[in-house]
Amino acid sequence: MSGGAPKFDAAFRAQLETLFRWRRDVRRFKPDPITPDVLDDLLRLAALAPSVGLSQPWRFVSVDDPERRAALRRNFETANAEALAACGEERKALYAKLKLAGLDEAPRHLALFAEPQPEQGHGLGRRTMPETVAYSAVMAAHTLWLAARAHGIGVGWVSILDPAAVAAALDVPSGWSFIGYFCLGYPQAEDDTPDLERRGWERRRQDIKVALLQR
């Protein structure tokens, strides 16, 4: 870029914080489609995420086939029933009321995998910490999530799944590590408070000291 790095002023930083605050985990979607050009733009921005050794190990899989989606739905139902059974008695009733997937409503489904040994990056930075490959894929997911929010698109992260069954249903290369399954669509409603907080499952901590240790 000519002229040096851009200057991000206070107004921009305020808008950026607003974007962070309105990035929600969405479970209820409108049927309006996400056009291919918009999805391409989201994936282009996701590719700007940091990655260990510039390896870009993320592998997004667009799940469009109805039979594969149905297989993922059955996978979720099985895993969710097991999670409910394992839930403590004081939380079981609340858990049963939570909407934990938007699989039926979301117009777009993306499964995210990490390639454990990508040729790109030549192994830099991951010899002692190979898990940084998976961390890099998570960074790509977060970047896509923020880009989607800027487009007015909601994202729901479905993690109540059996990873091996997901890989089998999608017939991805062996060795790929499953990171998460994401539902994308335009939200039915907007709120800057997490749904789990509004429903009494948990509260977001505001004290930064819980995440900061001084040595």
pLDDT band at 209 (very low <50, low <70, confident <90, very high): low
Q: In the 8-state DSSP scheme, what is residue 187?
A: B
Higher-confidence position of 211 and 138:
138
pLDDT digits (tens, 9 = 90+) for 45-100: 999 999 999 999 999 999 999 999 999 999 999 999 999 999 888 888 888 888 87
Q: In whole angstroms, what is the distance from residue 169 CA to residue 187 CA?
A: 27
Asked if residue 7 has pLDDT above 90, the reply is yes
pLDDT score of 212: 67
pLDDT digits (tens, 9 = 90+) for 85-131: 998 888 888 888 888 788 999 999 999 999 999 999 999 999 999 99
The structural architecture, per CATH, of the domain 24-211 is: 3-Layer(aba) Sandwich (3.40)
Identify the CA nearest to 134 among candidates 47, 59, 43.
Answer: 59
Four-point Cα dihedral 148, 83, 168, 104, nearest 10:
-50
pLDDT score of 100: 75
pLDDT score of 213: 67
pLDDT score of 129: 96
Give the pair of three-digit tokens for residue 158: 């479905």
Neighbour-count burial for 56-85, b at 16+ CB within 10 Å, e otherwise: bbbbbbebeeeebbebbeebbeebbeeeee
> What is the rounded average pLDDT of the residues 176-199?
88
pTM (2 decimals)? 0.89
The per-residue pLDDT of the chain, averaged, comes to 92
> What is the rounded average pLDDT of the residues 152-165?
96
Q: Where are the domains of the chain?
A: 24-211
pLDDT band at 214 (very low <50, low <70, confident <90, very high): low
pLDDT score of 45: 98
Asked if residue 177 has pLDDT above 80, the reply is yes
pLDDT band at 161 (very low <50, low <70, confident <90, very high): very high
Lowest-confidence range among 31-40, 67-76, 123-132, 205-214? 205-214
